[in-house]
Amino acid sequence: MKDQQHQPRDLDGNPVTPGLPMAMLAEVTHRCPLACPYCSNPVELTRAAQELTADDWGRVFRQAADLGVLQVHVSGGEPGARRDLAQIVAHARDAGLYVNLITSGIGITRDRLEELDRAGVDHVQLSLQGIRPDMADRISGHPGSWDKKMGFADWVRDIGFPLTINAVVHRQNLERLPDMIDLAERLGARRIEVATVQFHGWADLNRRALMPTRDQAAMARQVVNDARIRLRGRMVIDYVPADHHAVYPKACMGGWGSTGLNVAPDGTVLPCHAAQSITWMRFENVRDRDLDDIWLNSDSFNAFRGTAWMPEPCQGCDRKTVDFGGCRCQAMALAGDARATDPVCSRSPFHADVVARAEADAQADPADFIYRRMKKGD
């Protein structure tokens, strides 16, 4: 019999049943040489002095594996900004995890990539900000980024890592999507992830510069569908569409606290990478509590588990176990209420406003980028 105190409950006190996590995003640093205006890191970035040590990460990885995690996505910031990255990777492999390295390709030399190979990186995902030097360097805010990325991709191929290209698309580069897919194929990628910018955090500050038009979203869908047929058996295309133009929201994280968790550079454990935008929510830290305790018993992970917490129109909706009410962070950002139906859903009372605002932003003169940078000095 479980002690009544230990029955996990959602934010309304309804009992919930935690499952087991499959995947963990390990954001080992927020430091990054790039300054992409849609960065998924929070606007308040963590400084180097607050980062977990490699040994801390080793402990977290062992706890994660014991909890059921099979794969770790080692990301950032730019993970290569950590000089002890190979040690972190080795700890993850020692814990039995499959290691995906998610990198900009900037700041990792060939020697270091070979060191990461020996440490046990299983798979490399390389981000692409655009096609050709001018666009890639402007969007990333880093002159020379394109040439460095192409050199990095050569080393990945020489060493033999499986490669995924991660192309983030938006208003200013969507027309070049066919070229991005061609480039990924030329680079020998097994997969390309075409991900439309998600408008949280930094991207929300840059809505007018980045919001795709409805026509662009439709074109992208067609390009992806055609390429999937053409490249069947040669390259996989995963596609995250522009959800401001969708009928139903995306099933964010496959459901809050259901299969994934994110550990931030300072050890804060989050149900998703943007969860800190829910400003009233308190998050636990692996410095204070073990990961399984956080996963099973923390208020943050239990808050939106199950379906009992959902208000209408989600509660009576037959899709509530398909998309889980959509994205909690988007509900917070667009409806001012993290419990609300994701406002990109056509059944949300906010939907018409959200679409109107997205269309207006997409048609407005594109604003200059507000680049993602750490504040100086503090």
Partner 1 sequence: MNAQPAPPRPAALIEPDDIPYLPRGVRLADDRVRGIRVLQAPERAMQLDAIGDAILSELDGRRSMAGIVHDLAARYNAPDDQIAGDVRDFLTGLIERRMVFVKDRS
**Can you say which residues are annotated as belonging to the binding site for [4Fe-4S] cluster?**
32, 36, 39
Q: Identity (one letter) of the amino acid at 321?
A: T
Annotated binding site: 32, 36, 39
229 binds partner 1 (CB under 8 A): no
The CB-of-262 to partner 1 minimum distance in angstroms stands at 15
160 binds partner 1 (CB under 8 A): yes
Report which of 276, 251, 271, 273 is spatially closest to residue 261, judged by C-alpha positions. 271
Question: Looking at 158-166, 171-179, 212-220, 261-269, which segment touches partner 1 (CB under 8 A)?
Answer: 158-166
Name beta bridge partners: 191: 164, 236
Q: Which of residues 17-76 bind partner 1 (CB under 8 A)?
A: 20, 22-23, 65-68, 70-71, 73
Instruction: Confirm if 237 and 227 have CB atoms less than 8 A apart.
Output: yes
* Strands ordered across the beta sheet of 269-270: 236-240, 191-196, 163-169, 123-128, 98-103, 71-75, 23-27, 260-263, 269-270
The CB-of-238 to partner 1 minimum distance in angstroms stands at 9
The first and second tokens of residue 287, run together, are 């410095």
Instruction: Confirm if 181 and 227 have CB atoms less than 8 A apart.
Output: yes
- Residue in 29, 40, 41, 100 binding partner 1, rule: CB under 8 A: 100
The CB-of-295 to partner 1 minimum distance in angstroms stands at 12
The first and second tokens of residue 270, run together, are 């989050």
Q: How far apart are CA 291 and CA 359, in angstroms?
A: 42
226 binds partner 1 (CB under 8 A): no
Helix (H) or strand (E) holding 174: none
Between residues 164 and 258, which has the closer beta carbon with respect to partner 1?
A: 164
175 binds partner 1 (CB under 8 A): no
The CB-of-205 to partner 1 minimum distance in angstroms stands at 28
371 binds partner 1 (CB under 8 A): no
SS (H, E, C) 187-249: CCCCEEEEEECCCCHHHHHCHHHHCCCHHHHHHHHHHHHHHHHHCCCCCEEEEECCHHHCCCC
Instruction: Confirm if 19 and 296 have CB atoms less than 8 A apart.
Output: no
Between residues 23 and 39, which has the closer beta carbon with respect to partner 1?
A: 23
Q: Which of residues 103-142 bind partner 1 (CB under 8 A)?
A: 122-123, 125
The CB-of-232 to partner 1 minimum distance in angstroms stands at 6
191 binds partner 1 (CB under 8 A): yes
Which residues contact partner 1 by CB under 8 A?
Answer: 20, 22-23, 65-68, 70-71, 73, 96, 98, 100, 122-123, 125, 160-162, 164, 190-191, 232-233, 235-236
